[in-house]
A and B are shown apart, each in its own frame.
Chain A
């Protein structure tokens, strides 16, 4: 009887107390016409058997490959203490902290997470997180729609195409207009964005570094947006935020991020972490949970969920959003990661990744026929043009256990020969050398 602890005698006593003679009598309300037509599930197995089956499935995946795949999701080193601390049952098996006196651990951790994330992105407030970086962009955009009561959204095509597809799906029934401004050789076209943002625009949405890895300064764009009454939304890569000009310095109203790089394993796409920050003016528009500091009846510091009047359990269909959970345990991972590395360690991770990417770019562009898509500054990821199809290059190299990057033609028409290459601190010069040799061999 896995996980049901009663002995037969205890079950008998309980049935007797309830006043029924059998388990089935408890389900009398479900009439015979409502009973299952089938329930053909496998028989239960022992823990050992199930583990063997799961291990067999895990072994069918190939993870011992050298991979330069990134595209917004990166294989950074995760210090051991991240797993150890966040897997503590007191954190992992707790509920949403609706009873604050019994949840100060979770609440203080969220408060500290809010603080660390606000400082990293240089914004005034953060929420307790949403599902992922894509849903964070959608929610940020909707903050702009609510704050301006306008319906036109201007989005850079250099924003991750994965997220742009999500935005298109999420907004299907909302009567919003999504205007996409094309990229220029992998760069965010700031001038075209400025021209597209006018006094009917709710929000402008950009990414830094953008999907092609290029870093920009959006101060002028955000100044212009403010002048015409539009909100500025920026999505960033948290690891690079230790170096790059911040959303706060650029004057963004809402800054969001995919937090996977802060101590989350890639884990085939989830769970990840949707980071959301904003200016204090916008905080009442921000969805999701927010923790505030307060005092108890004896004047001692404590933490509670606050601004709940925005939320669905009180305002139902009038709520700011339908989001009723956060990625609490993922936010905790991010906080532990940031605490273990500190500002110095995080900057080192960023710099090592950048150094590896620039070394790779140098080696790859030395191959005849291979060139950078643009000479604009980039961080840990860059796009190159090949004299052959990038699909074919990837296909042929993966056969040999080496994934050279992400073929941009998957999402961008006309870029079938372009490859997006990402590095982290985990790559070695040897990895890069093999990449260059294999790609060179393929092209010759």
Chain B
């Protein structure tokens, strides 16, 4: 499809803006002005509307397609949340208004949302306090790692290392590294963190262990109580990567079992739209002893019921965001939690786990399932076996695109060969799950008889497979080259 720039005609006008009463030379000296106007698109409003409507039709989204992406939790996003977040009472609110002495009462509703959301997350996870500031999951990881660093520094501990199991998300080590830590990787055994390997890696220099539980194989860490004890035994902290929270709501609270820090990816578990890559929201919860280190501002409820921002936390790690995080995103998550309530969140986890196990059972005779036991909200399969005729995980994913499904997560976690990680979520009907399984079985059968057909998929989308090597070698990053 032609770009906006190719469709542009010099002199065409879209939205009408009144002509101003001045020109730039009236107020600014010539040496401060740009020499040429930027070549931005010049289109009529309908041109713009058509362009983006047509572009949208080239996308898969949860609203149109089943997205069984493991580790990503792409559940349905209820529409009323969008309406809630679009209320002018929130969208027109200037963030600095809350910091003005006399205008704090202009923002009481927004501060209440923040306060209530923190409390709800505390109750869901059993943590002592939350910050809503982190603007994405990985930003939450960084915030958590910085809180850990501040805690140890305050105690006078010399801690330089963070342990990250090999099945963790790639952002875990990157985030801990940017918080100033060296990373120690440990290998899994039988799909679990190996207590022996952990014990060997744990010494007095370890500041924290970052754990995903259920892990990225979809399995619950059966050694969890032992791990908690070992980590705390060397005065290290235990970090919970909250990307997989969809499996455990109402079944386990990470604070109760001994995790010290946790982050959420609100767009996953609490159903805010992923937006094609953002914006997200990555609140971080901490145990009691880490509260002094949370970012400022904190929201506080006074005895008279008013809410105020509190900056008086001398041990705080400071500002992680200019204001109070991605308010518009967590407002949606807040509405979602109110809608579901405690029983609804528990039901969501139960049905997410049921759906994953249902697909696993239905597929087990058709594709290799390396850890074939009761899984949590996702499971991994492996596209290995001679009868697949060299058809790889990526090919199966591409062939699923032709059938109208987004591909499962492929090649992650790295510890499973030709991995397809499937996560159906609780919001898909049995009919959808059955159709997906049937279609995947068809593709696996086709791999036996006509593997080239699968290897060259997709065939029905706007483009066939794209040359990624060329994109990196002959970089074309704007429409100007």
Contact = CB atoms under 8 A, between A and B. Distances in A.
A140 B209 CA distance: 30
Given A215-B32, A267-B328, 8 more contacts: A89-B273, A99-B397, A102-B65, A104-B58, A317-B183, A329-B276, A342-B42, A354-B20
Nearest to B16: A345
A21 interface: no
Interface stretch (A105-113, A151-159, A192-200): A105-113
Contacts of A57: 89, 109-110, 112-113
Contact of A62 (B106, B124, B179, B257): B106
A336 B224 CA distance: 48
Given A85-B53, A108-B55, A343-B38, A283 B477 contact: yes
B317 A172 contact: yes
B43 A125 contact: no
A347 B33 CA distance: 12
Interface string B417-459: 0000000001111100000000000000000000000001010
B170 A316 contact: yes
B28 A425 contact: no
A180 interface: no
Interface in B1-39: 1, 3-5, 12-24, 26-29, 31-35, 37-39
A36 to B, nearest CB: 4
B353 interface: yes
B88 A63 contact: yes
A69 interface: yes
A133 to B, nearest CB: 7
Interface string B96-111: 1111111101111110
B374 interface: yes
Interface in B49-75: 49, 51-53, 55-65, 67, 69, 72, 74-75
A106 B277 contact: yes
Interface in A70-121: 71-73, 75, 79, 81, 83-97, 99-106, 108-109, 111-112, 114-116, 118-120
Given A44-B343, A249-B34, A410 B251 contact: no
A142 B439 CA distance: 47
B316 to A, nearest CB: 9
A381 interface: no
Interface in B340-387: 340-348, 350-351, 353-355, 357-358, 361-362, 374, 376
Contacts of A242: 34, 37-38
B276 A349 contact: no
Contacts of B89: 55, 57-61, 63
Interface residues of B, number: 205
Given A18-B358, A42-B342, A268 B276 contact: no
Contact of A345 (B13, B334, B341): B13
Nearest to A57: B109
Contact of A329 (B32, B43, B142, B278): B278
A126 B478 CA distance: 8
Interface in A320-354: 321-330, 332, 335-336, 338-349, 351-352, 354
Q: Which of B4, B23, B86, B468 has the most CB of A within 10 A?
A: B4
Contact of A39 (B271, B342, B466): B342
Contacts of B428: 5
Interface stretch (A9-17, A366-374, A430-438): A9-17
28 contacts: A1-B347, A26-B350, A26-B374, A28-B374, A36-B252, A43-B342, A54-B334, A63-B89, A69-B97, A85-B48, A85-B49, A89-B273, A91-B56, A95-B406, A131-B139, A134-B322, A172-B318, A270-B326, A283-B475, A300-B463, A302-B463, A306-B475, A323-B138, A343-B40, A347-B37, A354-B27, A399-B102, A403-B97
A31 B334 CA distance: 30
A343 B351 CA distance: 51
A76 B40 CA distance: 19
Contacts of B21: 352, 355
Contacts of B139: 131, 135, 323
Interface in B76-105: 76-78, 80, 82-84, 86-103, 105
A112 B245 CA distance: 35
B471 interface: yes
Given A99-B397, A269-B327, A270-B323, A44 B136 contact: no
Contact of B64 (A23, A89, A265): A89
Given A41-B123, A45-B339, A166 B322 contact: yes
A35 interface: yes
Contacts of A174: 178, 180
A89 B317 CA distance: 37
B330 to A, nearest CB: 9
A6 B428 CA distance: 9
Contacts of A352: 17-18, 20-21
Contact of A79 (B15, B31, B97, B464): B15
Contacts of A173: 146, 149, 179-181
A276 to B, nearest CB: 12
Nearest to A127: B477
Contacts of A84: 49
A3 B348 contact: yes
A67 interface: yes
A34 B88 contact: no
A36 B253 contact: yes
A245 B257 contact: no
Given A3-B78, A45-B338, A317-B177, A342 B476 contact: no
